[in-house]
């Protein structure tokens, strides 16, 4: 498993490498700041969805060790979100605090992006063993906020697009699919099972 984790760790750094390489080779086009913002934001969302895919994948494949990758992938989502936030803070807004606060308060797409980022921050800070032990049962409840973080990030994307909603809607579709894959055990399959049981009993 350790080789697996190292491989996934290194693969997860590739987007960062591409961004750094692009920035230093002038490969990011006419508007490199926008390119960095789009790349980091997209990867934050992709890692978040991959993280959410682990549980259903584990269930489908029966490969329980997949769960060991989940925290790392979640932290990579947070890592790219931090990068995305930093690009905005530094390269886009140039630390103009007044205009940043105004953006967060007045531009809905920034508001929801910021909320998503806040949630990811809280989840990252409490992703360690110490917090898990201290929070006990509440930990699970708190980390269910990851669904809200993903949905807010997708809403962020939908609201920032001018006309072509194709990309954010694809992400939304993936998110909905991942949510549906969580349903079967609790909702869809329970009823037929009970009926079968009853028939056997009577």
The residues of the shown chain that bind ligand HEM, judged by CB under 6 A, are: 34, 37-38, 41-42, 44-45, 48, 81, 84-85, 88, 92, 110, 113-114, 116-117, 120, 153, 156-157, 160
DSSP helix/strand/coil, 136:
coil
Between 1 and 30, CB nearer to other proteins: 30
CA-CA distance, 170 to 164, in Å (whole number)?
Answer: 12
Q: Are 147 and 179 in contact, with CB atoms under 8 Å apart?
A: yes
Query: Could you say whether residue 107 binds other proteins (CB under 8 A)?
Result: yes
CA-CA distance, 104 to 125, in Å (whole number)?
Answer: 22
Query: Could you say whether residue 94 binds other proteins (CB under 8 A)?
Result: yes
Q: Output the six-digit token pair for 27.
A: 């490969």
Task: State the angle between helix axes of 14-24 and 32-61 in degrees (0 to 180), rounded to the nearest 10.
Answer: 170
Query: Could you say whether residue 25 binds other proteins (CB under 8 A)?
Result: no
Between 29 and 62, CB nearer to ligand HEM: 29
Task: Report the partner that residue 48 touches, choosing among other proteins, ligand HEM, none (CB closer than 5 to 8 A by kind).
Answer: ligand HEM
CA-CA distance, 93 to 114, in Å (whole number)?
Answer: 14
Hey, which residues between 148 and 187 contact other proteins (CB under 8 A)? 160, 162-164
Query: Could you say whether residue 34 binds other proteins (CB under 8 A)?
Result: yes
Task: Report the partner that residue 45 touches, choosing among other proteins, ligand HEM, none (CB closer than 5 to 8 A by kind).
Answer: ligand HEM
Q: Which of 16, 18, 66, 109 lies at the binding interface for other proteins (CB under 8 A)?
A: 109
Q: Are 150 and 178 in contact, with CB atoms under 8 Å apart?
A: no
């Amino acid at each position: 498993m350790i080789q697996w984790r190292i491989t996934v760790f290194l693969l997860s750094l590739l987007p960062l490498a591409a961004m750094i390489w692009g920035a230093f080779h002038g490969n990011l086009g006419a508007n490199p700041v926008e390119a960095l913002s789009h790349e980091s934001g997209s990867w934050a969302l992709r890692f978040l969805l991959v993280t959410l895919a682990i549980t259903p994948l584990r269930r489908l494949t029966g490969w329980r060790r997949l769960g060991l990758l989940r925290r790392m992938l979640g932290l990579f989502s947070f890592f790219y979100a931090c990068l995305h936030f930093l690009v905005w803070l530094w390269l886009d807004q140039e630390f103009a605090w007044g205009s940043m606060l105004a953006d967060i308060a007045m531009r809905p797409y920034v508001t929801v992006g910021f909320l998503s980022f806040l949630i990811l921050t809280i989840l990252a800070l409490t992703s360690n063993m110490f917090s898990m032990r201290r929070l006990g049962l509440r930990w699970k409840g708190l980390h269910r906020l990851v669904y809200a973080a993903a949905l807010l990030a997708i809403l962020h994307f939908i609201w920032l697009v001018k006309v072509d909603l194709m990309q954010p809607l694809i992400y939304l579709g993936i998110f909905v699919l991942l949510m549906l894959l969580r349903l079967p055990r609790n909702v869809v399959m329970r009823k037929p099972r009970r009926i079968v049981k009853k028939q056997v009993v009577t």
